[in-house]
Amino acid sequence: MISNSELWKLAEVNRINRGDVFIDQDGNEMIFTGKAFQVYFTEKDERYDYVGMCIGDEWKFSHNDMAELEKQTKERR
């Protein structure tokens, strides 16, 4: 398991790839965009629950979904 700070350190030294998805102990998933960690999947209602990097979170690598990241980038243009 990887803490928030360890995850950021890995990102800052280019040890994490764009599209890498990480899952926390609550089942929330974050994707690394190359510049930020963004919510990739959650079952929480984001209107009422904060979803992000919270104190005490522990992450593990899930998979890489570069295809989804590229798709979202194209849709925003």
- CA atoms of 33 and 2, how far apart (whole Å): 18
What residues does 58 pair with on adjacent strands? 3
pLDDT beyond 80 at 21 = yes
> Residue 66 — pLDDT band, cuts 50, 70, 90?
very high
Domain region containing 21: 2-76
pTM of the complete model: 0.89
pLDDT of residue 71: 82
- CA atoms of 42 and 77, how far apart (whole Å): 25
**Mean pLDDT across the stretch 19-40?**
96
How many domains, the chain?
Answer: 1
pLDDT of residue 14: 97
**Mean pLDDT across the stretch 13-30?**
96
